[in-house]
């Protein structure tokens, strides 16, 4: 397995029109979850990926499992929990702004994930364990599970990839910061945004954020800069990688997960930092061209065409 990841995935209801949800009549059903987004994006790029979680033993849980499996991700370690619900969320869209998100996930099956339920051999056999800061925010048992997974990865020389993905709708800043920093110190690769760098470290300049995480022990830092691209650093150097210009973005949710997947894909292919950044920017940009969290992720040939590495014949 190239990458193993775990965390909560939910059923997403996206409105078919803009405006307050009280006036919306129709919704489209899809799935949402940072870790499953990364797994799907990597699978589309041709990597062997596994995702696991707990799902409610209900139709929404079965829908999530079949959707992720249908995208080429191994879901053999998913646990179905009788008596627990699968989480759901609703998006609320307004023109020219990021969507609002409303969660209905408290007490969900995924929030009951326990450390003793980990299949340690599944993590040991991977090249990279990808985690996010959403999982430890769900519950104390999820937090313990995440740290156990990191412990297994480190003991078996599996790289730990970490996207802070701070969600202040799930916990407070005071709760989040010490946990995020503890995870960062144990991570090999980290994907902070500027807001996360400011919250966790007090810095707003990409090079300061990267240098700080490098000093903590991270080997590679990829700072997400949105429309400006990214800043990538290791212990030897740092560089900016320009973003790809977009004419008509549709939905920004899922772009950061696509960015992480693109970067990890480049690392798995042993590309240099600049090329990893180009992959990351490319997948992240393509994600926002389509409504939905993961529907816009490209396959390898589409990504190569988008970043200018390959010509395509459309007719």
Tell me whether residue 221 is exposed, middle or buried, using C-beta atoms within 10 angstroms of its C-beta: 0 to 12, 13 to 18, 19 or more.
Answer: buried
Higher per-residue pLDDT: 243 or 202: 202
pLDDT above 70: percentage of residues in the chain = 94
Lowest mean pLDDT among 58-72, 162-176, 220-234, 286-300: 286-300
Read off the pLDDT of each residue in 117-141 and give the average, rounded to a whole number.
96
The yes-or-no verdict on residue 73 having pLDDT over 90 is yes
Task: Give the Cα separation of 158 and 170 in Å (integer).
Answer: 29
What are the backbone dihedrals phi and psi of residue 6, each rounded to the nearest 5 degrees, phi first?
Answer: -150, 155
Which residue has tokens 């033993």?
57
Q: What is the mean pLDDT of the chain?
A: 92
Q: Does 99 fall in a domain? A: no
The confidence score (pLDDT) of residue 26 equals 95
Indicate the pLDDT class of residue 121, thresholds 50, 70 and 90.
Answer: very high
Residue 55 contacts residue 86 (beta carbons within 8 Å): yes
- Structure token pair of residue 197: 């760098």
Task: Give the Cα separation of 145 and 135 in Å (integer).
Answer: 9
Read off the pLDDT of each residue in 143-155 and give the average, rounded to a whole number.
97
Number of domains in the chain: 1
The confidence score (pLDDT) of residue 230 equals 95
Task: Give the Cα separation of 296 and 18 in Å (integer).
Answer: 20
Task: Give the Cα separation of 188 and 186 in Å (integer).
Answer: 7
Q: Does 151 fall in a domain? A: yes
- Cα separations in angstroms, 68 against 159, 180, 192, 207, 293: 23, 27, 25, 36, 13
Task: Give the Cα separation of 53 and 9 in Å (integer).
Answer: 8
The confidence score (pLDDT) of residue 306 equals 87
Indicate the pLDDT class of residue 190, thresholds 50, 70 and 90.
Answer: very high
The confidence score (pLDDT) of residue 313 equals 45
Residue 224 contacts residue 230 (beta carbons within 8 Å): yes
Q: Does 186 fall in a domain? A: yes
The yes-or-no verdict on residue 314 having pLDDT over 50 is no
Q: Does 265 fall in a domain? A: yes
The CATH number for 244's domain is 3.40.1190.20
Read off the pLDDT of each residue in 202-210 and give the average, rounded to a whole number.
95
Residue 244 contacts residue 279 (beta carbons within 8 Å): no
Reported as a single tens digit per residue, the pLDDT across 196-205 is: 999 999 999 9
- Cα separations in angstroms, 248 against 13, 17, 90, 252: 22, 17, 23, 11
Reported as a single tens digit per residue, the pLDDT across 262-301 is: 999 999 999 999 999 999 999 998 888 777 667 889 999 9
Read off the pLDDT of each residue in 136-165 and give the average, rounded to a whole number.
96
Task: Give the Cα separation of 242 and 280 in Å (integer).
Answer: 11
The confidence score (pLDDT) of residue 308 equals 83
Q: Known catalytic residues?
A: 257
The confidence score (pLDDT) of residue 149 equals 97
Indicate the pLDDT class of residue 315, thresholds 50, 70 and 90.
Answer: very low
Q: Does 101 fall in a domain? A: no
Q: Does 229 fall in a domain? A: yes
Q: Does 267 fall in a domain? A: yes
Higher per-residue pLDDT: 288 or 62: 62
Which residue range forms the structural domain that includes residue 151? 34-54+116-306
Residue 218 contacts residue 189 (beta carbons within 8 Å): yes
Q: Does 274 fall in a domain? A: yes
Residues 145, 60, 105, 252, CA torsion sign: positive
Read off the pLDDT of each residue in 125-130 and give the average, rounded to a whole number.
97
Task: Give the Cα separation of 227 and 245 in Å (integer).
Answer: 8
The confidence score (pLDDT) of residue 294 equals 75
Indicate the pLDDT class of residue 250, thresholds 50, 70 and 90.
Answer: low
The yes-or-no verdict on residue 246 having pLDDT over 80 is no
Read off the pLDDT of each residue in 18-34 and give the average, rounded to a whole number.
92
The yes-or-no verdict on residue 98 having pLDDT over 80 is no
- Structure token pair of residue 88: 């759901």
Residues near 256 by beta carbon (within 8 Å), at least 6 away in sequence: 34, 163, 165, 191, 193, 224, 284
């Amino acid at each position: 397995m190239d990458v193993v990841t775990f965390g909560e995935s939910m059923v997403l209801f996206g409105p078919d029109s803009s405006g307050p949800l009280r006036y919306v009549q129709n919704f489209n059903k899809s799935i949402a979850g940072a870790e499953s987004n990364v797994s799907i994006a990597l699978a589309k790029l041709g990597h062997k990926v596994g995702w696991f979680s707990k799902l409610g033993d209900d139709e929404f849980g079965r829908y999530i499992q079949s959707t992720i499996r249908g995208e080429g991700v191994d879901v053999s370690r998913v646990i179905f929990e009788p008596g627990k619900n699968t989480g759901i969320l609703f998006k609320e869209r307004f023109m020219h702004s990021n969507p609002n998100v409303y969660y209905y996930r408290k007490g969900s099956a995924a929030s009951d994930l326990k450390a003793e339920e980990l299949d340690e051999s599944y993590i040991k056999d991977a090249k990279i364990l990808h985690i996010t800061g959403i999982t430890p925010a769900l519950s104390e048992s999820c937090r313990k599970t995440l740290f156990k997974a990191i412990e297994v990865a480190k003991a078996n020389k599996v790289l730990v990839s970490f996207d802070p993905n701070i969600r202040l709708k799930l916990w407070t800043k005071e709760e989040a910061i010490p946990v995020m920093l503890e995870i960062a110190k144990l991570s090999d690769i980290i994907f902070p945004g500027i807001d996360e760098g400011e919250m966790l470290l007090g810095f707003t300049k990409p090079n300061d954020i990267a240098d700080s995480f490098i000093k903590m022990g991270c080997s590679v830092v990829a700072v997400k800069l949105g429309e400006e691209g990214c800043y990538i650093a290791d212990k030897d150097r740092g560089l900016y990688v320009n973003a790809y210009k977009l004419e008509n973005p549709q939905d920004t949710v899922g772009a950061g997960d696509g960015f992480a997947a693109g970067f990890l894909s480049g690392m798995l292919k042993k590309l240099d930092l600049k090329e990893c950044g180009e992959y990351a920017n490319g997948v992240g940009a393509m994600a926002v061209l389509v409504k939905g969290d993961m529907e816009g992720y490209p396959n390898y040939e589409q990504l190569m065409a988008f970043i200018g590495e390959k010509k395509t014949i459309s007719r």
